[in-house]
Amino acid sequence: MGSLTRYLCRRLLAAVPLLVGATLIAFLLGVAAPGDPAREALGMSGVREPTEQELQAMREQLGLHRPLAVQYGLWLIKAAQGDLGVSYITKEPVAKELLRRLPHTLALAIGAVLIAAMTGIPLGIWMAARRNRWEDHLGRTVALLLVSVPGFWLAILFILLFSETWGLLPTSGFGGWRELLMPSAVLASGTGAVLMRLSRAAMLEVMNQNYMLTAKAKGLGELGVLIGHGLKNMLIPVVTVLGSSFGGIVGGAVIVEVIFAIPGIGRYAVEAIYRRDYPVIQGYVLFTSIVYVLFNLLVDLVYTWVQPQIRLGGAVR
Amino acid sequence: MNRTSLLDAFRSPMAAAALSFLAVVAAISAFAPLLAPCDPEAVDMGNRLAPFSLSHPLGTDHLGRDVLSRLLHGGRHTLLLALAASAATMAIGLALGIVSGYFGGFADDAIQWFVQLFQGLPGLSFMLAIAGTLGPGAASLFIAVVITSWADFSRIVRGETLKLREEHYVEAVRAMGSGHGRIMLRHLMPNLLGPIVVLFTVRIGRTMLAIASLSFLGLGLQPPLPDWGVMVSDARTYFRSYPHLMILPGMCIAAVSLAINLLGDALRDGWDARTERNGEEWR
């Protein structure tokens, strides 16, 4: 397993510059933010019109008088210890609040991935089986529609139909699966559409392989060939895309969280932006980056496990 | 895809329909001030949320503004901004991609380090944070979009350049003494036209949706600007009783985005068809 260990180490090392880059961007965002953090901080503690001395004192207290590189270094050390600073508004530690909200966003994202996989993959296979017939054309049109429709609009349409008109589902909040169903479905729409197209293409590719012909020649029915021999061979590219889309879904949950009033990390970030609460915005950027990088790493590891050629250094077909 | 197959792609009925639709939208956007029956920003509080009528064919919104006039103006800012941001993304991605693929070596390593950084991080979170930190407005949107989308573009251009670099004709012009700049501009760029057109088209559609989403959140284009994203955002409070205020601008966004995606698909099919033909020639 020497080569596997080496591969894992290489992948882990590759994640380091990503995280360093993320911290640098998060830090620079705070620098680029308009306004004077010292004035903001004083304003938050009730000093409306600070004197020059008070501002100077606050700048020193916040470390703003030091060179940028030193400020970044200090910020990085604190971030590495899990200290992302304190919200200007609530005075709560940012890291703690992000961790408290993360499960809501994760539940939403997992729901979305499940819905996307359970609809996108079977529909894609079905489209491949009915290639160039009306079912295929309909499926492709639906997929194209789903990637074209803005998520916020789809969300409001869903509320209008399922909550207001038919009264089937609650409009907002966070609790059981009933609250999660609509927001997850909206979040899943784009990924589901991509999966439909991808599964269709992957299945068509697999259907051209000789072993499929062999299976058919042995007298297996069309469905039996597709499920028994096609499915597991087309799933590898599909699952890779599905896995790497998860991180993007976590990042893209913002709109859905805002519309359905879900207390996740995206809504926290948007509220922070409205109030110019920069430590929270920085924390959000860093936090989503870590989730994204870690998840992509996890997908890579699973992929290595499923597809041994990679870890043995062979070519992937 | 060379120039002929690019033209072929435009001849497919789907692409032609999509392109005609987009041309109509562009014309409406350009001449909206002449076409609109009312001033899209004229507030008339005595006539709020009015139903359809002759003077206001699609009624009025929560401030008594004419909905039809606002819809006709609604694409101007988003589309122009999406076009500008995509063009800037293309310019940066193209330049870095060609340099990276053509020279290889240190330039390639350095550029690819940044590409991997931006591809390995969640683009949507960054777009939100950048636009949000810089404050609402077109300039912030532009910067946020370009920073988060150049990397994909340059990676694909680099891949295509790597393939082209090995072609005999590049070898030939190099042997005839052409400089690097001339080879990249005169000999590589024209052959990259196919992938660039596809990427650019798809990028405009995505950028448009991103701008609309940020405007919807109140972090992009700002009221009272007549803009589709802003209109959906404005209508949120009233959507239970006046759903058309939100459905109509959303439909406009969806229709334009659909047309752009259809066009992108047709163009990509043209591009793929050529690669497939090449593959057959090899056998």
Q: What is the pLDDT of residues A228-253, one digit of tens each?
A: 777 777 877 787 777 778 777 887 78
* pLDDT at residue B279, rounded to an integer: 33
State how far the alpha carbon of B268 is from the alpha carbons of A131, A133, A193, B276, in Å.
Answer: 19, 21, 17, 12
Residue A316: pLDDT over 50: no
pLDDT of residue B275: 47
Model pLDDT, residue B253: 93
- Per-residue confidence (pLDDT) for residue B87, from 0 to 100: 95
pLDDT reported for residue A97 = 92
* A310 pLDDT more than 70: no
Higher pLDDT, B184 or B257: B257
B205 in contact with chain A, both atoms CB, cutoff 8 A:
yes
CB A125 within 8 A of CB A203: yes
Query: Contact at 8 Å (CB) between B238 and B62?
Result: yes
With a CB cutoff of 8 Å and minimum separation 6, the contacts of A268 are: A97, A98, A101, A280, A284
pLDDT at A143 over 60: yes
Q: Is the pLDDT of residue B2 over 60?
A: no
Instruction: Provide the pLDDT confidence category of residue B9 given band limits of 50, 70 and 90.
Output: low
pLDDT at A5 > cutoff 70: yes
Say yes or no to pLDDT of A123 above 70. yes
pLDDT of B1 above 50: no
CA distance A113 to A78: 34
Average pLDDT of span A46-51: 76
Per the CB < 8 A criterion, the answer to whether A114 and A190 are in contact is no
Report the percent of chain B where pLDDT is more than 90.
23
Q: What is the pLDDT of residue B95?
A: 92
pLDDT (0 to 100) of residue A10: 81
**In this predicted model, which residue has the larger pLDDT, A174 or A202?**
A202
> Is residue B274 over pLDDT 70?
no
Ordered domains of chain B (ranges, CATH): 67-282 (1.10.3720.10)
* Stronger pLDDT, B39 or B141, i.e. the higher one: B141
| A158 Cβ under 8 Å from any chain B Cβ | no
The residue among A95 and A177 whose pLDDT is bigger is A95
Least confident of A10-24, A231-245, B236-250: A231-245
| Any A CB within 8 A of B257 CB | yes
Task: Count Cβ–Cβ pairs < 8 Å, chain A vs chain B.
Answer: 130
What number is the average pLDDT over the span A275-294?
87
Res. B120: pLDDT tops 50 = yes
pLDDT at residue B134 above 80? yes
A156 to chain B, any CB pair closer than 8 A? The answer is yes
- Name the pLDDT band for B85 (thresholds 50, 70, 90): very high
Q: pLDDT value at position A7?
A: 76
Q: SS in 3 state form for B211-246? A: HHHHHHCCCCCCCCCCCHHHHHHHHHHHCCCCCHHH
Rounded average pLDDT over A101-129 = 91
- Put simply, whether A288 touches B (Cβ < 8 Å) is yes
Q: Measured between alpha carbons, how far is A310 from B78 in angstroms, rounded to an integer?
A: 44
Inter-residue long-range contacts of A220-225, CB under 8 Å, 24+ positions, other chains counted = A222/A129, A223/A129
pLDDT in tens, A144-176: 999 899 988 999 888 888 887 787 777 776 677
* Pairwise pLDDT comparison (A209 vs B118), residue with the higher score: B118
How buried is A225 (Cβ within 10 angstroms: 0-12 exposed, 13-18 middle, 19+ buried)?
buried
When CB atoms are compared, the residue of A147, A153, A258 closest to B253 is: A153
Task: Report the pLDDT value the prediction gives residue B176, as an integer from 0 to 100.
Answer: 87
Give the pLDDT of residue A89. 78
Find, among A71, A91, A59, the residue nearest to A31 by Cα: A71
Give B103 or B39, the one with higher predicted confidence.
Answer: B103
* Higher-confidence position of A296 and B200: B200
Task: Say yes or no to pLDDT of A267 above 60.
Answer: yes
pLDDT of residue B22: 93
pTM of this prediction? 0.86
Give yes or no for residue B276 having a pLDDT over 60: no
**CA–CA gap between residue A24 and residue A26 (Å, rounded):** 5
Choose the weakest-confidence range: A44-58, A116-130, B153-167, B212-226.
Answer: A44-58
Beta carbons of B219 and A164 less than 8 Å apart: no
pLDDT of residue A314: 46
Average model confidence (pLDDT) across chain B: 84
Report yes or no: B176 and B166 within 8 Å, Cβ to Cβ: no
- Nearest by CB: A152 against B113, B130, B232: B232
Decide if pLDDT at B145 tops 70: yes
B273 or A198: whose pLDDT is higher?
A198
Question: What percent of chain B lies above the pLDDT cut of 70?
Answer: 92
Q: Which of B78, B112, B116, B128 to mutate to test the interface with A (most CBs of A within 10 A)?
A: B128
CB contact, 8 Å: B216 with chain A?
yes
Q: What is the pLDDT of residue A268?
A: 92
- Return the C-alpha torsion angle B200, B201, B206, B209, nearest 10: 130
Interchain contact A88–B (C-beta under 8 A): no
Strand partners of residue A93: A86
Residue B102 three-state SS? helix
Closest residue of chain A to B257, computed from CA coordinates: A148
| Distance set, CA B34 to CA B30, B40, B252 (Å) | 9, 12, 19
Would you call B126 an interface residue with chain A, using a CB distance cutoff of 8 Å? yes
Quick check: A153 and A226 in contact, CB under 8 A? Answer: no
Measure the CA angle with vertex A266, ends A155 and A105; round to 5°.
80
Q: Tell me which DSSP letter residue B192 carries.
A: G
Mean pLDDT of chain A: 82
Report all structural domains of chain A as residue ranges with CATH numbers, in order of start.
3-94 (no CATH), 103-306 (1.10.3720.10)
> Under an 8 A CB cutoff, do B258 and A292 touch?
no
pLDDT number for residue A1 = 52
The alpha carbons of chain B give a radius of gyration, in whole angstroms, of 22
Over range B34-55, report the average pLDDT: 79
Q: Which residues in chain A touch residue B148, judged by CB atoms under 8 angstroms apart?
A: none
